[in-house]
Amino acid sequence: MPFIDKILVSRSLSIVGMEKNTGKTECLNYVIYRLKEKEKIIGLTSIGIDGESVDQVTETPKPEIEIYPGTIFITSEKHYKQKQLTAEILDITQKSTALGRLITARAKDFGKVICSGPSQTVWLKEIIDKTRDMGVDLFLVDGALSRKSSASPSITESMILTTGAAVAPGIDDIVKKTAFLVKLINIESFDTEHHEILMGKEKGLYIITKDNELIDTCIESGLFADKISPEFINKASAIFLSGILTDRFIELIRVQNTKKKIVILVKDFTKIFISKEKYYGFLRSGGEIRVLLKPNLIAICINPLSPFGYKLDSNLLADKLHDEIKLPIYDIKKI
């Protein structure tokens, strides 16, 4: 069966949807179902609320997450009480989310759970690390409500992207939007000896000079980019942004730096919030965007069913996406 073998080599996986109702949970259930055959102990949580029986935004029914004995899941107090299986409580956090403290439990039989995990990625990382000691082979993260942050390669090793009718009304638009995101996900990583130092930076704007020297510009973030002096830009072979990359920043660098080749460097694709137009505009001007960590995009899954009731031609969508992206595309309902 497709892509399960690829999942098995990584130790953590996040499933991220381009929008709600792109079949994320379906996809997750498929992955869990397949992993069961492989007799792997899996860990499971989501970032933010997920796994509700009814979608919180569009009120359409949603499939629940079905797990098997041995699975370690992390959910809030509120949703733990709604579980439909026997489970052994292993740990309870002292910190609390809006839905109560987080409970780590081990499933004792088959059944359905609602996952509502930590609200921040840092906390999620802590939880993933902690479950390692409990014997988890593979940790699955259900990324909620178009949140891509959990797919950051600093949190999970690999990712699955789901897309579908919920993204845009027409197939061509869906393909365009998905292809652009995949383009960003697959941005090549940048080799630098300053890798470790830059990964540890929580804020600030740094410059790597042509002589490979790292300079702190003392500017807090890309929001204050207009304070950056042209002198710095002239010196730079790469500009590193610890925070997010926006249209405004990219435009500013493009205007300042007319002729030379320059690299804008961010931690990973989850930090990139730019439009397609600005992105290609920047590339044409000789610039380049690179990341420190590139995620391992395992598969793209599609859901041809729209939350508004209509259904697109699954094969056509898959083919068009494949032409554009050159990656295997799966309709979970069909495999």
Partner 1 sequence: MKTFRNYIAEHVGVKFIYDNMNICSAPGRKELLNSKFIVAPNQIEDELELLDELFIKYTSLSEITKTNILHLLSQVYDVSLIIKNIQSGFTVDDIQLFEVKKFSVLIQKLKEILCEINYTSLEFSDLSIVINILDPDNTGLMTFYIYDSYDSKLAKLRKERISTNNQNKKDELYIEILKLEDQIRTKLCKELRHYCKDLEINLRNVAKFDVLLAKTQLIEKFNLCRPEIVENRINYCGLFNPFIADILSKKGKKFQAVDIGIDQKPCLITGANMSGKTVLLKTLAVAQIMFQFAFYVPAQKAEIMPVEEIIMSLGDNQDELTGLSSFAAEMLNVDKIIKAAKKGKKILGLVDELARTTNPDEGKAIVNAFVYLMEKYNSSCVVTTHYSGIITRSKRYKVKGLKTDEIKNQEVNSTNINDYIDYLLVEIDENFVPNDALNIIEMLGVEKELVFSARDFISRKL
Give 115 or 184: the residue with its C-beta nearer to partner 1.
Answer: 115
User: Min. distance of Cβ 113 from partner 1 in angstroms?
Assistant: 13
CA distance 113 to 71: 11
User: Min. distance of Cβ 120 from partner 1 in angstroms?
Assistant: 21
Separation in Å, CA 43 to CA 71, 97, 100, 204: 6, 19, 20, 34
Quick one: which segment of 76-84, 170-178, 270-278, 288-296 binds partner 1 (CB under 8 A)? 76-84
Helix runs in 142-225, H state only: 171-185, 195-199
Partnered with residue 87 across adjacent β-strands are 107
Quick one: which segment of 25-33, 82-90, 179-187, 305-313 binds partner 1 (CB under 8 A)? 82-90
81 in contact with partner 1 (CB under 8 A): yes
Four-residue CA torsion sign, 247, 253, 255, 258 = negative
Among 9, 92, 283, 335, contact with partner 1 (rule: CB under 8 A) = 92
Helix (H) or strand (E) holding 33: helix 24-37
Asked if residues 117 and 75 have their Cβ atoms less than 8 Å apart, the reply is yes
89 in contact with partner 1 (CB under 8 A): yes
Helix (H) or strand (E) holding 134: none
Give 110 or 180: the residue with its C-beta nearer to partner 1.
Answer: 110
87 in contact with partner 1 (CB under 8 A): yes
Among 5, 88, 172, 173, contact with partner 1 (rule: CB under 8 A) = 88
Quick one: which segment of 91-99, 164-172, 231-239, 296-304 binds partner 1 (CB under 8 A)? 91-99
Asked if residues 150 and 128 have their Cβ atoms less than 8 Å apart, the reply is no
CA distance 105 to 76: 11
96 in contact with partner 1 (CB under 8 A): no
Near partner 1 in 109-128, by CB under 8 A: 109-111
Partnered with residue 335 across adjacent β-strands are none
Quick one: which segment of 90-98, 114-122, 214-222, 238-246 binds partner 1 (CB under 8 A)? 90-98
Quick one: which segment of 15-23, 55-63, 101-109, 253-261 binds partner 1 (CB under 8 A)? 101-109
DSSP state of 113: E
307 in contact with partner 1 (CB under 8 A): no
Closest alpha carbon to 295 in 275, 278, 277, 270 = 270
Among 20, 62, 79, 106, contact with partner 1 (rule: CB under 8 A) = 106
Give 20 or 79: the residue with its C-beta nearer to partner 1.
Answer: 79
69 in contact with partner 1 (CB under 8 A): yes
Distance between alpha carbon 35 and the CA centroid of its chain, in Å? 21
CA distance 259 to 99: 53
Give 90 or 171: the residue with its C-beta nearer to partner 1.
Answer: 90
Asked if residues 154 and 267 have their Cβ atoms less than 8 Å apart, the reply is yes
Applying CB under 8 A, which residues contact partner 1? 69, 77, 80-81, 84-92, 94, 103, 105-106, 108-111
